[in-house]
Amino acid sequence: MVQIEEDILGKNNQYAAANRQWFAEHRMLVLNLVSSPGSGKTTLLTRSIDDLQQELNLAVIEGDQQTSNDAARIRATGVKALQINTGKGCHLDAHMVGHALETLQPDNNSVLFIENVGNLVCPAAFDLGEAHKVAILSVTEGEDKPIKYPDMFHAADLMLLNKIDLLPYLDFDVEQCIRYARQVNPGIKILQVSATTGEGMDDWYQWIKAAQMLAAIGQ
Amino acid sequence: MVQIEEDILGKNNQYAAANRQWFAEHRMLVLNLVSSPGSGKTTLLTRSIDDLQQELNLAVIEGDQQTSNDAARIRATGVKALQINTGKGCHLDAHMVGHALETLQPDNNSVLFIENVGNLVCPAAFDLGEAHKVAILSVTEGEDKPIKYPDMFHAADLMLLNKIDLLPYLDFDVEQCIRYARQVNPGIKILQVSATTGEGMDDWYQWIKAAQMLAAIGQ
């Protein structure tokens, strides 16, 4: 069983390396958005696209077990979007993403958002070739999630603490949540946002723009 | 022997995690500059400091087995610099860097350059808590270095191909060198520079500024 798992991950890492080389050569910024179901990923993404698409060249890959509802929501913003249905699979893998790129054909210097299947376990182990995993945690989920799902928060470079407009109505300790996140990942960056009210979203946009600048420089 | 090595690296990783948390909390960008001896690291660094110190808050940690010549060269630019002598050691470690920070006291939002001991092997294994390892390879060293020292080029996010002003006088295949670097690290960014003539240095400065912006955002 362990052997099979290692073989699958080894194969995935080869495809991820090929994707990463392709992204580097095309000077693209690729963000892998991971979270539990209902954290507000798609709402956050559609708002981000609305606010950024005048400035940045954007594209989206949507991962879901079934339905293409999310890709339809994204396409309504006017941005290129492709849905991958994973069927029984609980995560995207690098091979699926490689195939999606052939169809999607994102532009050089663009920003590609990959919205992974809502799941705090499986997507942590599967590198897609992205520059950064971005973990979205909503304050309705409880502050202990980083230590309950340490692999995911260890793998992420940025945590977006979402739905902060609901903090007044919840018993959620923001500082404790941040301490937990740093416990599993000392260098993780943390931004507090509400995709509904827009609070804190400018910091997220600045972060994306800086990361895109970084990705666009060099051979 | 393997056990001892694992213990040493495990201990180092704990110190590196503490450094990384400290850097994140202080929103600092930390770059670990690695290369073989004579690649032009210190010249590259002094020129970069001269050109960037009006715009960015800079500090330097210099690693050498003996002498404090390099720190003196850096201090002549007007920037805070601290020398660490590693004695018999062929690399800096995270514990040394942690102690250096207490003395150096770099500012929030600053950029800290750590110039490692000139060595293409040992520094690859020792995380210092940096955001990026930057490998400097001079074209006088031959294009095969990335595949001869794969750990180092695998660990680096950026490769600066230095001394390109000497290319007309050498039999050095730039494209082959880039292919070798991508072979061991598909996502590595590559910039061609000459710290002597200044060619290509603006791209390096843009890369630093974008990375600094990224580091300065978030909690």
pLDDT at A45 over 90: yes
Contact B81, B74 (CB under 8 A): yes
pLDDT at B6 over 90: no
Helical spans, DSSP H, in A105-172: 145-148, 150-155
Joined together, the tokens standing for residue A57 give 């060249």
Mean of all residue pLDDT scores within chain B: 95
Q: Looking at residue B1, what is its pLDDT?
A: 64
Share of chain B above pLDDT 70, in %: 100
Please give the Cα distance from A149 to A36 (Å, whole number): 10
Q: Search chain A and give the residue with CA nearest B158.
A: A218
Check residues B2 and A124 and name the one with the higher pLDDT: A124
Q: Looking at residue B219, what is its pLDDT?
A: 87
A217, B191: Cβ pair inside 8 Å?
A: yes
Phi then psi dihedrals of residue B113, to 5 deg:
-95, 130
Please give the Cα distance from B116 to B92 (Å, whole number): 6
B129 in A contact zone (CB under 8 Å): yes
Model confidence pLDDT, tens digit, residues B47-81: 999 999 999 999 999 999 998 888 889 999 999 99
List CB contacts (< 8 A) between B187 and chain A: 17, 20-21, 23-24, 129, 131
DSSP bridge partners of B13: none
Q: How many C-beta atoms lie closer than 10 Å to residue B216's C-beta?
A: 18
Model confidence pLDDT, tens digit, residues B82-125: 999 999 899 999 999 999 999 999 999 999 999 999 999 999 99
Whole-angstrom CA distances from A170 to A142, A162, A164, A191 are 9, 13, 10, 19
CA A98 to chain centre: 16
B9 in A contact zone (CB under 8 Å): no
A14 in B contact zone (CB under 8 Å): no
Q: Looking at residue B7, what is its pLDDT?
A: 86
Joined together, the tokens standing for residue B166 give 């000497």
Please give the Cα distance from B34 to B121 (Å, whole number): 10
Closest approach of chain A CAs to the CA of B89, in angstroms? 27
Length of chain B: 219
List CB contacts (< 8 A) between B24 and chain A: 182, 186-189
Q: Looking at residue B155, what is its pLDDT?
A: 97
Joined together, the tokens standing for residue A49 give 């696209």
Q: Looking at residue A1, what is its pLDDT?
A: 64
With left for phi above 0 and alpha for psi between -120 and 50, is residue A40 left, alpha or beta? Answer: left
Closest approach of chain B CAs to the CA of A175, in angstroms? 11
A197 in B contact zone (CB under 8 Å): no
**Which positions 27-86 of A are in contact with B (Cβ < 8 Å)?**
none
A211 → closest Cβ in B189, B206, B214: B214
Which of these, A31, A32, A48, A55, lies nearest to A162 by C-alpha position? A48
Model confidence pLDDT, tens digit, residues B173-210: 999 999 999 999 999 999 999 999 999 999 999 999 99
Please give the Cα distance from B122 to A202 (Å, whole number): 41
Confidence band of A166 (pLDDT split at 50, 70, 90): very high
